[in-house]
Amino acid sequence: MFIFNKPKTPTSIFTSFHSHLTSHPLITLFIFTIFLIQILILCSHSPSPAPELSSSSAVEKCPNGYIYVYNVPSMFNYDLLPTCKDLDPWHWQCGVATNAGYGTPASELSGIIPESLMPAWHRTNQFSSEIIFHNKLLKHNCRTMEPQSAASFYIPFYGGLAVGKYLFSDSTNESRDFHALELIKWVQSQPYWLKSNGLDHFIVLGRITWDFRRLTDPEQKWGSTFFNMPEMQNVKRLMIERAPSDYRDIGIPYPTGFHPRSDTDIQTWVKFVRTYNRTSLFTFVGAARDDIGDDIRGLLLRMCRDDSVSGTCKLVDCGVTLCANGSLEIMSSLLGSEFCLQPRGDSFTRRSVFDCMVAGSIPVLFWNRTMYDQYEWYLPKEPESYSVFIDHDDVSKGKKSIKSVLESYSREKVREMRERVIEIIPKIVYSEGEMNDAFEIAIDGVLRRFKEEKYQRLEEAELNMARN
């Protein structure tokens, strides 16, 4: 028969072990030393806990909150991208989608701009801002994948492309409104839209505001009624030309061909335009449009042609020269002139204003709405510090001579104004890197506006509660 010994209790085991160690002090020291070594090894290999992102760190990174980018159905953006490869000016949408909206390399500028900057220059379509913003927001450091933590919501709708293909064709109003109406249906199914009714939502559109404000008159056929739809009355709209009386419209610079990759690119370009040898007093880039009332482009073209004989004015007649998306002729004329004439285009604004300033030339404006009432986040408050204003009526009625006005500026004054223009350049370009460019200024501005409006609504709610 097997006899099982009674198991020792923990107390008896400890007593026996303690008695053994007491009688063998060297063994005790050896065991204690091994124990300490093991502790040190474990401590040295234990990973330190990952630092948690404190709320103060998050605020410092994105002080005005985070942006949630909706994943809208592709019919509202990617499916609208044209497949054509050329840059035919009569097919304005061609080239919009190339290189995340920046366009193909502007190889024709080789020889006139610094070779180190050639990779930063592209044939950028003037209507590509909705694509540029979408691609940059997808990589933005204040983008969040969690809508519950967002302070604002971006709707990546390529509305300019959606309506653009119907602007110059005999299409129905139903066709012009189709994508906008479908987008409204989709966004109304989103919980965070329903929560705020669009008060914290924004959109970026590549065309001017008037392309989305078709009147209700059945005879009116230009554009869509997107901005007139009741559901759009709370949404902020970033675009290249705003309606000055509409607080929801926010003007952003037209995309130019310069997309710096770093601060070094900016510094190199600024040095280049500051020291460029400008041999003409002023330049005019444009074409006559006699079918547009109150248009002075034909007058400026004739005047510049007369003054080109003496070298006073450099003329680029876009009725003869291909002017779409920038060209060697345009760049050469802007770099070579102290001032550039900027009448209104087919609408009040025109891309050429930004091409002009990027080239370090001083813009001469004839309508306040061409720039002063449009881009307040980007320009100094003193317009006379970086531009010249001559009322279009004074020009068309012969009351003022453009040449005489510009010749009245001293060399020192011109130098000072050019420095102000140069200071503006980093703010009006869309970079390919992480810089405080036109994109960052726009996003920071719209986030600040959302934050201010939220505080204002809270204050109003508290006041109403106090009254009740």
In a domain, 198, yes or no: yes
d(CA 39, CA 46): 11
Rounded to whole angstroms, how far apart are CA atoms 31 and 43?
19
Q: Based on the domain organization, do 402 and 281 belong to the same domain? A: yes
Burial class (CB in 10 A: 0-12, 13-18, 19+), 428: buried
User: 428 and 306, same structural domain?
Assistant: yes
- Asked if 285 and 215 sit in the same domain, the reply is no
The pLDDT score that the predictor gives to residue 90 is 47
Residue 176 lies in a domain: yes
Question: Does residue 99 sit within a domain?
Answer: no
Residue 414 lies in a domain: yes
What pTM was computed for the model?
Answer: 0.84
Contact 161, 82 (CB under 8 A): yes
* E strands present in 259-361: 280-286, 313-317, 337-342
Q: Alpha-carbon distance 128 to 93, whole Å?
A: 9
Task: Judge whether 13 lies within some domain.
Answer: no
The 10 Å CB-count burial string (b at 16+, else e) for 101-116 is bbbebbeebeeebeee
CA-nearest of 254, 160, 256, 167 to 207 is 160
Q: Give DSSP secondary structure letters for 379-412.
A: S-S-GGGT-EE--HHHHHTTSS-HHHHHHTS-HH
CA–chain centroid gap for 220, Å, is 31
Coil, strand, or helix at residue 222? coil
What residues make up the domain containing 76?
Answer: 62-92+127-252+441-458
Q: Are 170 and 289 part of one and the same domain?
A: no
Q: What CATH number corresponds to the domain at position 403?
A: 3.40.50
Average pLDDT over residues 385-410: 97
Both 445 and 429 in one domain: the answer is no
Average pLDDT of the chain to the nearest whole number: 86
Q: What's the confidence (pLDDT) of residue 463?
A: 87
Whether residue 448 sits in one domain with residue 392:
no
429 with 445, same domain: the answer is no
For residue range 337-382, what is the model confidence (pLDDT) as tens digits? 999 999 998 899 999 999 999 999 999 999 999 999 999 999 999 9
Query: Residue 101 to residues 134, 211, 266, 350, 431: CA-CA distances in angstroms?
Result: 9, 20, 20, 19, 12
Q: In this structure, is residue 113 part of a structural domain?
A: no
3-class DSSP state for residue 236? Answer: strand
Query: What is the rounded CA–CA span in Å between residue 414 and residue 282?
Result: 12
Task: Verify that 159 and 302 share a domain, yes or no.
Answer: no
Q: Give me Rg for the CA atoms of the chain.
A: 32
Which tens digit of pLDDT belongs to each residue from 168-216? 778 888 899 999 999 999 999 999 999 999 999 999 999 999 999 997 6
User: Cα–Cα–Cα angle for 265, 266, 268, nearest 5°?
Assistant: 65
Paired residues of 237 in beta bridges = 203, 249
Q: Is residue 40 part of a domain?
A: no
* 272 and 418 assigned to the same domain: yes
With respect to residue 135, please indicate whether it lies within any of the assigned structural domains.
Answer: yes
Domain match, 325 and 236 both: no
Residue 199 sits in the same domain as residue 160: yes
The model's pLDDT over 274-314, given as tens digits with 9 standing for 90+, comes to 999 999 999 999 988 766 656 799 999 999 999 998 999 99
Distance CA 447, CA 25 (A): 72
Do residues 174 and 216 share a domain? yes
Question: CB burial class (10 A; 0-12, 13-18, 19+) of residue 457?
Answer: exposed
Q: How many domains does the chain have?
A: 2
